[in-house]
Amino acid sequence: MTDGQAAAVLGALADPTRLAMLRHLVRAGPEGAAAGTSAEAVGATPSRASFHLKALERAGLVTCRRDGRSMIYAARMDALGAVISHIVDDCCAGSPALRACCR
Amino acid sequence: MTDGQAAAVLGALADPTRLAMLRHLVRAGPEGAAAGTSAEAVGATPSRASFHLKALERAGLVTCRRDGRSMIYAARMDALGAVISHIVDDCCAGSPALRACCR
DNA sequence: GTCATATTTCAACTTTCCTTGTATTGTTGA
DNA sequence: TCAACAATACAAGGAAAGTTGAAATATGAC
């Protein structure tokens, strides 16, 4: 993973609304949650929620599938892990102090 | 740590130049490195380097002290750990899959 | 004090991002 | 087919961030 790619993912995470949405999706589990549900969970208008969910999807942090009238978004834990690994292992030279934070 | 605070730190990380500078500072160790040295290491002009180092400092990711004519910046591993902890523990419900990435 | 070095600050410009409201697409059930 | 609903797409406005180059500040050497 290049710094540019990592920066793009971190940029997607660098917003309180998106952080809240991602948390909601992680708690929803592999099943995911409908866009409207996430919107309501974080107190965002549908349009705004769609904008931020798309940003998360572009960054590869969530997947999207249609289920009837609803769009179901689900968190991609592997992508989240990849960017954390980039910071911890590559960027921060695998600092023991940093690794300790994850335990 | 609130989502807003975490987002601010993640925003500071969400830039390839800053990611490269932070890596350089981490490798420099607790001693830190002069602003000019970091600038040269990542191929940035002094002005641009100063701008990004200040951004990292505002986010609490680096410290700054003067040594003669040079400004010495040093990475704050604890701050880096805190934001990773926020994502791993709080935001992502301590997902075992995510924790595994840090080991 | 004067000069050179190291870094920061500033202003101007460009680009990107976030929000809001409205229009549009896709889906379901009558 | 038509009406209702869920979500997205689009455009406009304003705010924030990054880049550049020139000027300013702080420090050390002479």
State CA B44 to chain mean position distance. 17
pLDDT score of B74 more than 90: yes
Q: Which DSSP string do the residues of chain A spell out, in sequence order? A: --HHHHHHHHHHH-SHHHHHHHHHHHHH-TT-EEHHHHHHHHT--HHHHHHHHHHHHHTTSEEEEEETTEEEEEE-HHHHHHHHHIIIIIITTT-HHHHHTT-
Report the protein residue whose CA lies nearest the C1' of nucleotide C5.
Answer: B69
Give chain A's mean pLDDT. 90
Q: For A42-51, how does the pLDDT look when each residue is reduced to its tens digit (9 = 90+)?
A: 999 999 999 9
Q: Which two tokens stand for residue A23?
A: 């948390």
Name the residue with tokens 């990475």.
B75
What is the model's pLDDT at position B27?
A: 92
For residue B103, what is the nearest residue in chain A, using CA coordinates? Answer: A99
Q: Which two tokens stand for residue A87?
A: 């910071």
> Does residue B68 belong to the interface with chain A, where contact is any CB pair within 8 Å?
no
Task: Tell me what the mean pLDDT of segment A10-25 comes to.
Answer: 95
Residues linked to residue B74 through DSSP beta bridges, in sequence order: B63
Q: Is strand D less than 7 A from the beta carbon of A17?
A: no
What is the model's pLDDT at position B91?
A: 72
Q: Is strand D less than 7 A from the beta carbon of B75?
A: no
**Fold of the A3-102 domain:** Arc Repressor Mutant, subunit A (1.10.10)
For residue A77, what is the nearest residue in chain B, using CA coordinates? Answer: B98
**Residues A90/B101, Cβ–Cβ less than 8 Å:** no
Is pTM, for the whole model, over 0.85?
yes
What is the model's pLDDT at position A6?
A: 94
pLDDT score of B103 more than 90: no
What residue spans define the domains of chain B? 3-102
Tell me which of B66 and B100 has the higher pLDDT.
Answer: B66
pLDDT score of B98 more than 80: no
